[in-house]
Amino acid sequence: MDVVVVGHVDHGKSTVIGRLMADAGALPEGKLEQVKAMCERNARPFEYAFLLDALKNERAQGITIDTARCFFRTPKRRYIIHDAPGHIEFLKNMVTGAARAEAALLVIDAHEGIQENSRRHGYILSMLGIRQVAVLVNKMDLVDYSRTVFDRIRREYSEFLANLAVQPERFIPISAREGANLTAPTAETPWYDGPTVLEQVDSFEKNADDSGRPFRMPVQDVYKFTEEGDDRRIVAGLIETGTVRVGDEIAFWPSGKSSTVRSIEAFNAEPLREAHAGQAPGFTLTTQVYVKPGELMVRKDQAPPQCGTRFRANLFWMGHAPMLRGKRYKLKIGAARAPVELVEIRGVVDASELSSIEGKTQIDRHDVGVCVLETARPVAFDLSADIERTARFVVVDQDEIAGCGIILEPVEEETSLLAERVRRRELAWGKGYITPGERAAQYQHAGKFVVFIGAPADGTQELAKKLELELFLNRAHTYYLSLSNVFDALETAGEAAPLTREEQIHGLGELARIITDAGILFITALSDADEYDLAKLKLLNEPNELFVVRVGDAVPEGFTPEVSLPAGPDVRRALEEIVRALNASGILPEYSI
């Protein structure tokens, strides 16, 4: 069971964990004494929080701890306790799947009372869909175990959480330092008759209802067997929700490809008949489908996920720089990554006050924006009202996680941001006196963007270059450019960071527009383009269409190329076929080669 401990700085999170481990007898033999002795030697007062540091990398008695987590067990079960000193780290872990906290202990210092982060963390728990929450009102020793103080905090904080639809299971008055109500009740709070922290933790429900929900697994990796004669692939990931069995029909989104589960492989263990939420198995399928990491695997007999580029979300912003419209960020959802932009701010809420701030044009640090985001390519997701786990995402700004959010609903796009940019570009295009028709008449062919797709090993690039030569020898105005040339050029033109694949495709599309407008048959070869890349190139090259030649059968599904050739085609025959197709679509005048 994963439990996270959150709360304002210095309210006693680490002390709660250290003390809990000590009192529950979860520490290695002699550890407590050792740390106490060390403190004495250094003339420092002993702190239970030091235990967490002292346990780092400790392996004795099956206890391990790293910076963020410690493991311990009660007679009932095993725990992973996450100490969340910084909410950013924790959020990052939660959203990337490194942590799967199902319950939370929220620590509030009785003496200091509810602070900003007490509220923010409550907000984050609600965003992450962690509904099992116990509030520990700590340092009761500093307020003489006053029931009045405890009741006031309980009342105020319950009101706050009620706005977030989080209903804490319990408020527990404790003193982590004195060990009051942690593993044993204390005589200091005769007015409290609820469970101790340990009892509370043991009463949290495991995987509340994750296994009963629709099956969802973000694909982390696709491994290919390399043994001879074996072309099976293993699709691997962590199951977020639901259950899947051998023989189930499954689909992958956003590609929409489908197949049937042939086997469920477990690491170093017998194959399984069934796998469920929390497990990280690998699947083999009955048919060969080309699935990419980042897709969402679902069962076909259950509700499909959403799939699109625009959605309305609640976004908690943690970045130092505000989130701005028109700026490019990276979205991570499940195992998928996509460039993302803020399209519209519908409202901004201060996460600690839950008060709304009117008329904001940007989302500042610690704001919660109700906003519309748009990704550069479709992503698969669920709505937070349906399946919280697959509705969560983070926004990355320059390699830093700067925001996290949940998706509330899909938004129909009237025109995408890209289409809008292309429209503006065309309006602003400074044209010369020569029309495209006049140019085509003189050149004896139209300008066109000819895109070859297929693996280099299948002879794709070679064929593209041969086509350039062939057309040139027939007096056409033509030009071949490989993708890497474009990027080298763009990168040396002062772009600081290496260009992402998305930016590369974008650059190529813009370039194609200029070259085809100049009346040239512009040829390139892409090894791993999918239908979204092609759709994007098409849009960027507007109003000139693409002419797609596919070599081999790998990619992409759901796109009909103008010409389809087998892998490693006979060059002469292939060229003839391409030229015939160019003739047929009126790009080249009739001639045979």
Quote the least distance from Cβ 121 to ligand GTP, whole Å.
Answer: 11
> If you ran DSSP here, which 8-state letter would residue 178 be given?
T
Least spacing, CB of residue 402 vs Mg ion, in Å: 23
- Tokens standing for residue 422: 């292309």
Interface with Mg ion, residue 14, by CB under 5 A: yes
Task: Give the residue nearest to Mg ion (CB).
Answer: 14
By CB under 6 A, tell whether 368 contacts ligand GTP: no
Give which of Mg ion, ligand GTP, none residue 378 binds (C-beta under 5 to 8 Å, depending on kind): none
Q: Choose among ligand GTP, Mg ion, none what residue 33 binds, the Cβ cut-off being 5 to 8 Å by kind.
A: none
The site string for Mg ion over 194-233 (x = CB under 5 A, - otherwise) reads: ----------------------------------------
* Touching ligand GTP, residues 6-25 (CB under 6 A): 7, 9-15
Measured from the CB atom, the residue of 67 and 398 that comes closer to ligand GTP is 67
Q: Using CB under 6 A, pick the residue from 138, 181, 478, 544 that binds ligand GTP.
A: 138
> In angstroms, what is the minimal distance from the CB of 13 to ligand GTP?
4
Q: Quick one: which of 485, 491, 490 has its CA closest to 461?
A: 485
- Per DSSP, 270 falls in state P
Residue from the set 39, 71, 74, 85 that interacts with ligand GTP by CB under 6 A: 85
Pairwise CA distance, residues 459 & 464, whole Å: 9
User: Which entry of Mg ion, ligand GTP, none binds 9, CB below 5 to 8 A by partner kind?
Assistant: ligand GTP
Q: How far apart are CA 1 and CA 187, in angstroms?
A: 30
At position 431, the amino acid (one-letter code) is K
Which stretch in 134-142, 281-289, 493-501, 533-541 sits in contact with ligand GTP by CB under 6 A?
134-142
Among 32, 34, 39, 47, binds ligand GTP (CB under 6 A): 47
- Choosing among ligand GTP, Mg ion, none, which partner's interface includes residue 319 (Cβ < 5 to 8 Å by kind)? none
For the sheet with 132-138, list strands across it. Answer: 69-73, 78-83, 2-7, 103-109, 132-138, 170-173
Among the listed residues 58, 141, 248, 400, the single contact to ligand GTP using CB under 6 A: 141
Burial 184-203 (b: 16+ CB within 10 A, else e): ebbebbeebeebbbbbbbee
Q: How far is the CB of 111 from ligand GTP (least distance, A)?
A: 8
Q: Can you give the C-alpha Rg of the chain in angstroms?
A: 30
Q: Which stretch binds Mg ion (CB under 5 A): 1-9, 79-87, 213-221, 261-269?
A: 79-87
Strands 521-526 and 448-453: parallel
Choose the contact partner of 218 out of Mg ion, ligand GTP, none; CB within 5 to 8 A by kind: none
Contact stretch for Mg ion (CB under 5 A) within 12-20, 86-94, 308-316, 452-460:
12-20
User: CA-to-CA distance for 384 and 371, rounded, in angstroms?
Assistant: 15
**Alpha helices per DSSP H over 458-560:** 460-473, 483-492, 501-517, 531-540
Query: Least separation, in Å, of the C-beta of 165 and ligand GTP?
Result: 26
Q: Is the dihedral of CA 26, 31, 32, 35 positive or negative?
A: negative
Scanning 4-12, 28-36, 403-411, 453-461 for contacts with ligand GTP by CB under 6 A, the matching segment is 4-12
Shortest distance in whole angstroms from residue 17 CB to Mg ion: 8
Segment interacting with ligand GTP, rule: CB under 6 A, options 5-13, 242-250, 269-277, 572-580: 5-13
DSSP structural state of residue 389: G
Q: Identify what 536 binds: ligand GTP, Mg ion, none; CB under 5 to 8 Å per kind.
A: none
- Distances from the Cα of 73 to the Cαs of 25, 98, 262, in angstroms? 9, 20, 37
**21, 49, 511, 537: which one binds ligand GTP (CB under 6 A):** 49
Cα–Cα distances (Å) from 212 to 37, 207, 243, 375, 472, in that order, read: 50, 10, 7, 30, 63
DSSP state of 215: P
Return the bridge partners of 329, or none. Answer: 340
Q: Dig out the tokens for 591 from the structure.
A: 């001639």
Q: Which of residues 85-104 bind Mg ion (CB under 5 A)?
A: 85
Residue 265's DSSP bridge partners are: 282
Tokens describing residue 121: 């963390």
Per rule CB under 5 A, is residue 15 in the interface with Mg ion? no
CA–CA dist 441, 255 (Å, integer):
41
Determine the interface stretch with Mg ion among 6-14, 58-66, 492-500, 503-511 (rule: CB under 5 A): 6-14
> Of 138-146, 334-342, 347-355, 433-441, which part binds ligand GTP (CB under 6 A)?
138-146
Minimum distance from residue 12 beta carbon to Mg ion (Å): 8
Tally Cβ neighbours within 10 Å of residue 437. Answer: 9
Q: Closest separation between CB of residue 318 and ligand GTP, Å? A: 16
Q: Cβ 21 to ligand GTP, closest distance in Å?
A: 13
CA 572, CA 570: separation in Å to the nearest integer?
A: 6
Q: Is 484 helix (H, G, I), strand (E, B) or coil?
A: helix
Positive or negative CA dihedral for 118, 124, 127, 133?
negative
CA distances from 401 to 6, 88, 244, 350, 369 (A): 19, 8, 32, 19, 16
Return the residue of 69, 92, 131, 139 that touches ligand GTP, per CB under 6 A: 139
Contacted entry of Mg ion, ligand GTP, none for residue 12, CB cut-off 5 to 8 Å set by kind: ligand GTP
CB of 51 to Mg ion, least distance (A): 11
Instruction: Count Cα atoms within 13 angstroms, Cβ side, for 566.
Output: 5
Taking CB under 6 A as the rule, which mask of x and - marks residues 533-572 in contact with ligand GTP? ----------------------------------------
Q: In the window 164-193, what residues touch ligand GTP (CB under 6 A)?
A: 175-177
Packing angle of the helix pair 460-473, 571-584 (nearest 10 deg): 60
| CA proximity to 247, closest of 213, 219, 271 | 271
Residue 351 CB, nearest approach to Mg ion (Å): 21
Joined together, the tokens standing for residue 482 give: 């490989």
User: What is the binding site for Mg ion (CB under 5 A)?
Assistant: 13-14, 85
User: What is the binding site for ligand GTP (CB under 6 A)?
Assistant: 7, 9-15, 47, 49, 85, 138-139, 141-142, 175-177
